[in-house]
Amino acid sequence: MFNLMKTAVLMAAITALFMAIGSVLGGQQGMAIALVVALGMNFFSYWFSDKMVLKMYNAQEVDASSAPQFYTMVRELAAKAELPMPKVYLINEDAPNAFATGRNPQNAAVAATTGILRVLSERELRGVMAHELAHVKHRDILISTVSATMAGAISMLANFAMFFGGRSSDGRPANPIAGILVMLLAPLAASLIQMAISRAREFEADRGGAEISGDPQALASALQKIQRYAQGIPLEAAERHPETAQMMIMNPLSGGGLRGLFSTHPATEERVAKLMAMIPQRV
């Protein structure tokens, strides 16, 4: 129920941003049009955003014949988590990363890069995929998928407002300063909405993944290894679509500055410390 409430709040906030941009572009009429567009986008995101994200990453579905070890691993973990078997995808990228998507456990998908399969041990990979299945089990994958789609749309609309200007309700050109503010603040607001829910969600998925795999140390080791490798290998699809970065198990974006300041992922050291604290102490 709480995650359903978070989804409703997210959609309401995104809709409000759309309406604000619409107001800059066309006054009250623009606001009304933006409301209709936002409602349509929310509907589209709910039903189709998972397919859109998988297409962005050129993810290829695999099965027991095309990727037997990986597919069997996911199937075993899904059964242990008491989840329906999700669709399984591979992304032909060297950067090690993984994510889950879909509107509910019955329509979920998990995806991993070929790079993560190469750099992690089987034990570590189990920890990562258990983390992604924890996202599915907690029913928060819809939130990340919808927010990624809508944040990208807000950025495009904000750029449109900047370069093409707008009209007030009486038809006069809008204030250019307002257009600049919309261009700068609307994507920032969308990022803050994502960030507000993403960090806590990652901690919960770490905890849930450790419980599903029964091996918190393996997930901790995987996170450390992913961070080391990911720093030197860009994930091109994520660089082209930075709004999707918060879906990944590890922030795939290169560079620091504001990107680091507004990261949707907790510090790896903090995640590792929480996981290691889950290991039973020997007497």
Burial of 273 (0-12, 13-18, 19+ CB in 10 A): exposed
Annotation says 270 is catalytic: no
Report how far Cα 44 is from the mean position of its chain's Cα atoms.
17
Q: Which of 93, 124, 132, 243 is catalytic?
A: 132
Q: Which helix (H) or strand (E) holds 112?
A: strand 109-113
Neighbour order of strands in the sheet with 109-113: 60-62, 87-91, 109-113, 98-101
Contact 271, 223 (CB under 8 A): yes
Q: Give 170-234 as a 3 state SS string.
A: CCCECCHHHHHHHHHHHHHHHHHHHHHHHHHHHHHHHHHHHHHHCCHHHHHHHHHHHHHHHCCCC
Number of other residues whose CB lies within 10 A of the CB of residue 247: 28
* Residues with active-site annotation: 132
